[in-house]
Amino acid sequence: MHGAIRAKKIGGNAGYSTAIPRSLTKLRSYTT
């Protein structure tokens, strides 16, 4: 159980780390 929760947390963090730069690049493209 703990391993699954840990994997979910790591997966979620990885998802956010990849999604945030995409949104930032999109915002930059809109501003420029």
Return the pLDDT at 15: 61
Between the alpha carbon of residue 28 and those of residues 4, 7, 12, 20, 24, the distances in Å are: 36, 32, 24, 12, 6
Return the pLDDT at 28: 78
Quote the tokens at residue 32: 């420029």
| Percent of the chain residues past pLDDT 90, beyond the cut | 0
Complete DSSP assignment for 1-32: -HHHHHHHHHHHHHHHHHHHHHHHHHHHHHH-
User: Which is higher by pLDDT, 12 or 28?
Assistant: 28
pTM: 0.31
Quote the tokens at residue 5: 């929760």
| Percent of the chain residues past pLDDT 70, beyond the cut | 31
How far apart CA 31 and CA 18 sit, in angstroms, is: 20
